[in-house]
Chains A and B, each alone.
Chain A
Amino acid sequence: MNQNTEKKKFVFTKESLKKKFRISEFLSEKIITSVAFLSIAIIILIFFFVFRETMPIFKSQTAVESQPATAMVQEQYGVDSSLILNDQGQEQYGVDSTVMVNANGQEQYGVTESGLQDTGEVSSTDNAAGSEHEVAVLKSLVGKDWLPVSDHPRYGLIPLFVGTLKITLLAILFAAPIAILAALFTAAFAPNWLREIIKPAIELLAGFPSVVIGFFALMVMASFFQGIFGYESRLNAFVGGIAMALAAIPIIYTITEDALTAIPASYKEASLALGATKWQTALFVTLPAATPGIFAAILLGIGRVFGETMIALMATGNAAMTSANPFESVRTLAATIGAEMAEVVFGDTHYSVLFLIGSLLFIFTFGLNALAEFYIKGKLVRRFQGKS
C-alpha cells in the first residue's frame, strides 16, 4: 500500500501528509538510547558499589556490625593459630586505637596485652569502642604508616599517595617529551613511508600487556639501571616510572600525532612562505596550534599511569615509604588494592580502606578527565570560535 501511494502522483492533501509511525525507526532509536543509558548506569553502579563499601570507615555502627563477619571468617581460618591471634587483636582494636592516638609505637604492645585481658569488656562497650575505633582509623588515614595487617593496624594513605604521585611524575616526565617529540617527527619530518611504519608500530605498543612490561622491568631494566645508578633497592620508583612510561608513551604519542596532523596544512604553508625552516614551523606553529590535543594526550597518559596496577606491583618494590628520593621503593594506590584485596577479611576496616582507595582513584581519574574536558573545551572555544 505504501508503495502504491508512492507510485501514484504525490498530492498534497491532509491525508498524504499525515504523520506516519515508523516502527523500525522508533525501535532503533529507543534501543540506542537505552544502550547509552545502560553504559552510564553501569559506571554509576560501579562507583556506587565502591563507594558503599567505603562507607563503614565513616560510620561507626557499621564498623561494629562488621565484627560478626570477622568472627565468621575466623572460623574458616580457625586452624591457623596466628590468624586467631590476629582476630583477637581485631576485636580489640577499638581499645588499641584509643591508646594509639596518644601513645607511641613502643607502648602499643603492652596495651594490646591489656586489651587481651579486657576482652569481656569490649563486647559490653561495643558502641563506644566502635566509634573510638572509627576516629582512630580516620586519623590514621592521614598518617604516614601503611600497616594494615599489624597487630595494631594503621591505614596511612600518605605514603601511597606520595608513591603514586612520584611514579606518575617520573613516568610522565619520561614519557611526555619522548612521545611528543616522536609524534612531532612523524607528523612533520618523517617521509611518508617511514610514518606508515612508525605510527602503527608505536600504536601496537598501546595494546602491549602491562604484565609483560612489568616483567621486562623486573628482570631486565631493574638490574640495568642498578648497574648505572648504583642504587640500593633494585625495584624502586625510578624503575617503575620508566616501565610505566613505556605504557604511557603509545597513548601520548598517538593522540599527539593525531592532534599534530589535524593542524591545517595552510598553517605550515604560511609559515614556510614566510621563510621559516621546517623546525621553526614545527616548533612555533604546529606544536602551539596542537596544544589542546597534546594537553589531552598528557592527561590520558597520566590517567593510564595513575591506574596502572601490574607494572606497579612488579617493578616498584611495593614498600610504603614516604620520601622524595626516586631510587627508593614505593607502593602505589592501585598496586595496594591489587596486592591486598584478595587477602583481606571481607567487611573488615582494611577491606573498607581498600575500597576507599578505589574511590579515591576513581575520583581522581574522573576529576582529571573532567578537567581535561572543560579546560580543553574552553581553550578550543577561545582559539577557534572567533573564526568566521
Chain B
Amino acid sequence: MKEFKIRTQDLTLFYGEKMALNSISMDIPEKEVTAFIGPSGCGKSTFLRTLNRMNDLIPNVSITGEVMIDGVNIFDKQIDVVNLRKKIGMVFQKSNPFAKSIFENVAYGPRINGINNRTELQDIVETSLKKAFIWEEVKDRLHDSALGLSGGQQQRMCIARTLAVEPEIILMDEPASALDPISTAKIEELIFELKRNYTIVIVTHNMQQAARVSDYTAFFYLGELIEHGKTRKIFTTPDKKQTEDYITGRFG
C-alpha cells in the first residue's frame, strides 16, 4: 500500500444551518487517482473544494474536523492558504481560461510566484503544455486568445496552467462533463499519464469514467461517505447495497 497523501478525520461542513458533509474520514493515497461519485448535491464537490480551502470564499461556511495533507492540518491558523493552493491545483468543471493569450494563461501561475525571466517562463509554458498533451495543437498560436480554443483544448490548457505551478495534488471537479467523447478520452488519457507524478482526485458523474481512470473510488450520498475502496472492488462487489444500486443505475 502506498502512502496516504491526504487524510481527513471527522470532517463536517455546514453551509449556514445546512449540513453538507457529515463526519467524513477518508485516506487518499499518493500518486493514485481517486474518484468521487454520487448523485448531485451529495457533497462530493464540497469535499473536493475543502481540500484546497476554496470553500473559504463562500460566506457562512463552518468546518469542523481535520484535513491532513502530508501530515499537516490545513485548517491550522498558521497555514497560509495561498501557499497551500500552490501545492494543490484545481481544474474546474467549466474550463475557465483567462481572457489572455494561451501563453499568458499558462505563465500566469509562475509569474505571480515571481518568475519573470522570459526564457524561463517559455520553458515552463512549453513543458506544461506538453504534459497536458496540447503543445502540438497550440504551439503556433501561443499568443492568440485562449478563448479561441475549443472546449476540450481549453480544458487541457487549464490543466497545463495548473501544472505550471508544480502542484503535488490535482483536484478535478468534473473536468470532462462539458466535453465531447473525443475530448473526454484525451482528458482521461492525460489523467492516466499525470498520476505517475501527481496525486489526483476527480469528481465525476460518469460511472464509466470513474471505472476507467481511477484506482480508488469513493461513493458519497447525502453528505456522507458511504463506501470507499479500490475501484475494481466498488464496481464489482460493493459492500453496501446503496453503492450497488447507484452504480447499476437503480437510483440517483
Whether the pair B145, A274 counts as a contact (CB closer than 8 A) is no
Q: Hey, which chain B residues are within 8 Å of A277, CB to CB?
A: 82, 112
Most buried by A among B86, B96, B100: B96
On chain B, the residues within 8 Å of A264 by CB distance are 96
Check B52 against A273 for contact (C-beta < 8 Å): yes
Q: Does B83 contact A (CB under 8 A)?
A: yes
Is B40 an interface position by the 8 A CB rule? no
Interface residues in chain A, defined as those with a beta carbon under 8 Å from any beta carbon in chain B: 192, 264, 266-277, 280, 284-285, 288-289, 382-384, 386-388
Are A272 and B54 in contact (CB-based, < 8 A)? yes
Q: How far is the CB of A261 from chain B (nearest CB, A)?
A: 15
Residues B100 and A266 in contact, CB atoms below 8 Å apart: no
Partner of B100, one of A268, A280, A288: A288
**Any chain A CB within 8 A of the CB of B158?**
yes
Partner of A386, one of B84, B98, B108, B145: B145
Bound complex: CA A374 to CA B147 (Å): 21
Q: Is B116 an interface residue (CB 8 A)?
A: no
Inter-chain contacts of A271 with B (CB < 8 A): 98, 108
Interface membership of B59, Cβ < 8 A: yes
Q: What 5 A-B pairs are tightest by C-beta distance, nearest first? A: A386-B148, A275-B86, A266-B96, A273-B90, A274-B109
> What's the Cα separation between A284 and B113 when bound, in Å?
13
Q: Could you tell me the distance in whole angstroms from the C-beta of B4 to the nearest C-beta in chain A?
A: 23
| In the bound complex, CA of A388 to CA of B178 (Å) | 12
Cβ of A273 and Cβ of B147 under 8 Å apart? no
Nearest CB in chain B to that of A265: its residue: B57
> With A and B bound together, what is the CA distance between A366 and B59 in angstroms?
45
Q: In this assembly, does B205 line the interface, its C-beta being within 8 Å of a C-beta of chain A?
A: no
Cα distance A384–B147 in the bound complex, in angstroms: 7
Of B85, B86, B150, most buried by chain A (CB within 10 Å of CB) is B85
For this complex, 25 residue pairs linking A to B, each with C-beta atoms less than 8 Å apart, are: A267-B98, A269-B57, A269-B90, A270-B96, A270-B158, A270-B161, A271-B98, A272-B57, A273-B85, A274-B108, A274-B161, A275-B82, A275-B83, A275-B113, A276-B112, A284-B108, A284-B112, A288-B99, A382-B145, A384-B99, A386-B144, A386-B145, A386-B149, A387-B148, A388-B151
Chain B interface residues (CB < 8 Å from chain A): 52, 54, 57, 59, 82-86, 89-90, 92, 94, 96-100, 108-109, 111-113, 144-145, 147-151, 158, 161-162, 165
Residue in B57, B59, B151, B165 whose CB lies within 8 Å of A275: B165
Question: Which residues in A have their C-beta under 8 angstroms from that of B162?
Answer: 273-274
**Alpha-carbon distance between A347 and B36 when the two chains are bound, in angstroms:** 82
B83: which A residues are within 8 A, CB to CB? 275
Complex contact B89–A383 (CB within 8 A): no
CA A277 to CA B150, docked complex, whole Å: 29
Other-chain contact of A383, B86, B90, B147 (Cβ < 8 Å)? B147
Shortest B108–chain A CB gap in Å is: 7
Question: Given A274-B161, A386-B148, does the pair A269, B86 have CB atoms closer than 8 Å?
Answer: no
| A contact patch SS | helix
Known: A270-B158, A386-B147. A280 touches B96 (CB 8 A): no
Whether A289 contacts B96 by the Cβ 8 Å rule is no
Q: Is there contact, CB below 8 Å, between B92 and A266?
A: yes
Assembly CA distance A142 to B111 (angstroms)? 51
B99 contact set on A, CB distance < 8 A: 267, 288-289, 383-384
Using A274-B112, A274-B162, A276-B108 as known contacts, list a sample of 8 further A-B pairs with CB atoms less than 8 Å apart, ordered by residue number in A: A269-B57, A270-B92, A272-B57, A273-B52, A273-B92, A276-B109, A288-B98, A388-B151
Chain B min CB distance to A82 (Å): 65
Q: Give Cα A266–Cα B96 distance, bound, in whole angstroms.
A: 6
**Residues of B contacting A274 with CB < 8 Å?**
85-86, 89, 108-109, 112, 161-162, 165
- Contacting residues, chain B, for A384 (C-beta < 8 A): 99, 147
A387 pairs with B147, CB closer than 8 A: yes
Which residues of chain B have C-beta atoms less than 8 A from A275's C-beta?
82-86, 109, 112-113, 165
Q: Bound state CA distance, A384 and B161, in angstroms?
A: 20
A194 CB, min distance to chain B CBs, angstroms:
13
Alpha-carbon separation in the docked complex, A284 to B100 (Å)? 10
Give the residues in chain A near B144, CB-CB below 8 Å.
386
Min CB gap B40→A, angstroms: 19
Q: How close is B153's CB to chain A, nearest CB, in angstroms? A: 9
Q: Are B59 and A192 neighbours in the complex by a CB distance under 8 Å?
A: yes
Whether A270 pairs with B85 at a CB distance below 8 angstroms is no
Q: Which residues of A contact B98 (CB under 8 A)?
A: 267, 270-271, 285, 288-289
- Closest CB-CB distance, B45 to chain A, in whole Å? 12
Chain A CB count within 10 A is highest, among B59, B84, B145, for B145
Identity of the chain B residue whose Cβ is nearest the Cβ of A278 in the assembled complex: B82
- Chain B residues with CB under 8 Å of A268's CB are 57
Residue of A nearest to B83 (CB): A275
Expressed in whole angstroms, the Cα–Cα distance for A386 and B100 within the complex equals 12
Q: How far is the CB of B192 from chain A (nearest CB, A)?
A: 22
Question: Could you say which of A269, A275, A387, A388 has the most chain B C-beta atoms within 10 Å of its C-beta?
Answer: A275
The answer to whether A269 and B54 have CB atoms under 8 Å apart is yes
A108 vs B166: C-alpha distance when bound (angstroms): 81
CA distance in complex: A275, B111 (Å): 11
Tell me the minimal C-beta distance from B167 to chain A in angstroms.
Answer: 8
Q: CB distance B90 to A266 under 8 Å?
A: no
